[in-house]
Amino acid sequence: MKHLASLNAIMSRLHAKQLRLLIALAEKGSLLNAAEGLGLTQPGASKALKELESALGVELFLRTNRGLLPTPAGTCAIRFARLIQADLDNLRLELHAIASGSGGKLAIGTIMGAVPLLTHAISRLLDLQPRLSIEVVEDTSTTLLGLIDQGRLDAAICRLSVSERPESYDALVIKDESLAVIAHAAHPAAQRERVELRDLSDSRWVVYRANMPMRRTLEHEFFEAQLPFPLHLIETTSALTTLSLLSRNPRLVALVSVEVADYVCQHGLVSRLPLELRSHSEPYELVSRRSAQQNPAFALLVESLYAIQRED
């Protein structure tokens, strides 16, 4: 087994084209296709890969009849190559923002339940930095953490409990999550003063997919009530899809955060059912890559999120 190269040795031998090749190999799976995508000859790409493996002191790919398969070290190197690429892109964007006098860009992810909280914070953030450009990605915690790993998001409001590598991130607890059940105003339970979970056991549920924290909470509710978990679920991570389904079908119900329920109910889109849930969901966390150089707007976002909590 080779000894890992020193940082100075890596810095002196590492080239941008090697990182681009590493990313292309991960995406294309073959040396020929990766070389063509980068405008290199196959012998040139092969030489660049050997030089990279020599510089790092590890084998990055296994050569097989099906192409190149990344080793565990290769998978790690690919992840960091993408992060370096993303950091360089962020450098380019910030330099452009300085040159043009604009406010830069912030890329933020969010799970469905935290959408109202994040949009409130963004509104405050734009008051502080009106020339800031913002990208918002709504998805599951698992997907959002993957986007943070790739450097495509500066941070995300999600949960670290779904990660196999929680030590790779910094996390700030933002808010405890409370849950509510919503349905069409014409749902049979919408007019009752009190609803039990068994009253909804025959309803069609709109839920997150299995192993997501909110889904686990709902499963725990049914288990504690000694009821079988509903069949024929509709699974989605989209708030808009959930609301559109409920508004069109009075037989559907959905478990959402109280923030989402309050927002959609005050706009008359659906009704909140008078069901008292016993389980407590996991809190929201603002998650970012550990020890990453943060976008200056990130600190303003954190300030805005905590200011909202103080107001509440």
**Residue 1: predicted pLDDT:** 43
**What percent of the chain is modeled with pLDDT above 90?**
39
Could you read off the pLDDT of 123-149 as tens digits, one per residue?
Answer: 999 988 888 889 999 999 999 999 998
Q: Specify the residue for token string 């590493």.
A: 22
For the chain, give the mean pLDDT. 87
Could you read off the pLDDT of 196-229 as tens digits, one per residue?
Answer: 999 998 889 999 888 788 888 999 999 999 999 9
Band the pLDDT of 97: cuts 50, 70, 90.
Answer: low
DSSP β-ladder status, 252-257 and 204-207 = parallel
Q: What angle do CA 113, 119, 121 make, to 5 degrees?
A: 110
The answer to whether 195 touches 189, Cβ cutoff 8 Å, is yes
Residue 298 reports pLDDT greater than 80:
yes
Q: For residue 90, how many C-alpha atoms fall within 13 Å in the half-sphere facing its CB?
A: 20
Could you read off the pLDDT of 3-49 as tens digits, one per residue?
Answer: 666 777 777 888 888 889 999 998 888 888 888 888 889 888 889 89
Band the pLDDT of 172: cuts 50, 70, 90.
Answer: very high
Q: Specify the residue for token string 């069409």.
A: 184
Token representation of residue 192: 């009752």
134 phi and psi angles, rounded to 5 deg: -130, 135
The mean pLDDT value for 295-299 works out to 81
The answer to whether 145 touches 268, Cβ cutoff 8 Å, is no
Report DSSP state, residue 207.
Answer: E
Q: How far is CA 228 from CA 115, 189, 198, in A?
A: 30, 19, 10
Residue 295 reports pLDDT greater than 80:
no
